[in-house]
Structure 1
């Protein structure tokens, strides 16, 4: 079917709130390139929103999934467990930098992992409150919507959110929130809104995802860890978007040396197959009763096979080195654009988790969400998929596979430069 035919079906049968504004429909893909239903080639700088760090259809992942399909697709692991689930738990336990001996539960999505992490934190501490940060994004279920540090488009139409969720400022010096101010804000939240003795956990993204690709400094993350230790609060790190090699390390928290009590992971852990995990210190992970965690599809055998293949690819193909080198290339190009265009500012990256801002000018720094939307639209017309993000909607983020071919990367960056030249 053509894009036009599929669009007609989408308009008729797909709920408006779930429908993509994109009128192209993916037909097939390879590494960093996608072809639509009409055969048009697109360069992918979005990676399924950070899901494809090792590229579309990595051959080793495809082979592992196909082999698993010939053996077992589903039993529900709580009814009859299987080898893949246990192997994934072992693999994650060995690489996740949580305190002490780690244990794992598997789920289906990032939001589901976050929900379960909070359940575990409440069980382990006997407390109910949770503190999150401005700009944070944790999912689209009701509890995770309440935890998000951004209202629209995630909460606006859905009525009252669950309670006992409290907010603290995230340090973004470019927009006037220093680390010192953010820490004072967190301490004030503990004084005025969420009594420490009632606070189960503090959730934080080491690098804000939807919130704008701003990285918390090692010093800030260490200070949060110290506050948690002082009050017996669990520190839970959301690595759903920043994990699995995006930042040049397996997990972004490793840049700080901080060991959280729990982590949530998803997205690129299975190169496109749906799976997520909570990884945490054993005494916390074991705190709830029998059959209190899980679900019908959690830790699907097919998705587990994909995770194990991804872990092998990381060992065999220097994915972390690729991420670091890609980040260096992006930083260099951002610096060029900042010199070239008055509207481009605040280029930033941690490994290949990279973004820049579009503003009125470098002195005023007034966000230009309208310009960011135009850049995304114009780039699409030229054959490049790219995304915006940020509290102000004015950041252009880069989530291309870290395995992207050099010539395809250059082609895509040249498109961004052409668009900036046309619109700036």
Structure 2
């Protein structure tokens, strides 16, 4: 998701150095055009990966069955459908230059569900069809472990047509890259898209060097033009607050920077999300293209003047992102969903309170409540941006606001030299124009 875009088609201004300009026409990279709703549909999994976020209570007591009854799923669908209409009628039509969504800005064009957190391939086909049919969005993302059950999802798609994606939880220490590759190809044969997600843990870093990780576990996917998501491990209630797998931020940044360099040097056709998206955002929307040279990246000594810090604009754009990135848990409690360091739902599991419960209240009433939880979160974001020693002097603090970095830091601090902005990693991805343009084109092909 980009944050403070220029109005119109960002990134089409000629460069002073005569270099190439990114063609972002009709690409959804860095563009929020979807009402994203994650929903807690299943928490079973037969695997035992370190860092697993699956709730042990449901894993042990609700194995092989949905954890939300159809009646509650129907309530969620009714609330989301009603809210989607409200968003299009109220956010898309505003005449407000400070808003992210407005008449002349970006538009919410559809809504989607991401089914979390367990291995949904374990569910019977009839249950998957029930979930897909009840949650009536065109776009559906299912979390799953590496599985041979791709035909099951193909059967669900035949029964309930739509755009289907599989989010494959990929543990390089335990999983085989060739199997992941074959799974992705089989998915595509059924018109199902998706990507692997790798959780960065101490187990991973202890087992593999950055070079081994790329050569043995990413390179086999390197001709597929596929997204790969990197997620940060954080202690949580479902992880018994264990810190065993926590990677210090400086160590994580060093690892991912080396990974990024090798991916770019080997010209792998991978789309690392969200971190490489940020590389484009900073070049285009923070005008770093004027200080950039292909093959070398950004000359930090030639960066343009820092953009003015417009607190009202940052708050309103962040509000819009929060209002369109939501999570509904098994109790029908509503939370914000962040895509900063991987995908984290800001729920009780990470120490955040619910925005409200949608069983008896509409989503629009909850998220627009004056002085409510959303307002409290925004105040906390702005306070942290302006007072934190890392954010205060940073030229990119407006970008981090919409990704809930100030809130996540409150739960688990980014102590050390580096921060949750992962700038050294971004700089490596910025070295290669073709790599970034290929990723932009990949988002255009996805249309999502």
TM-score (norm 2): 0.28
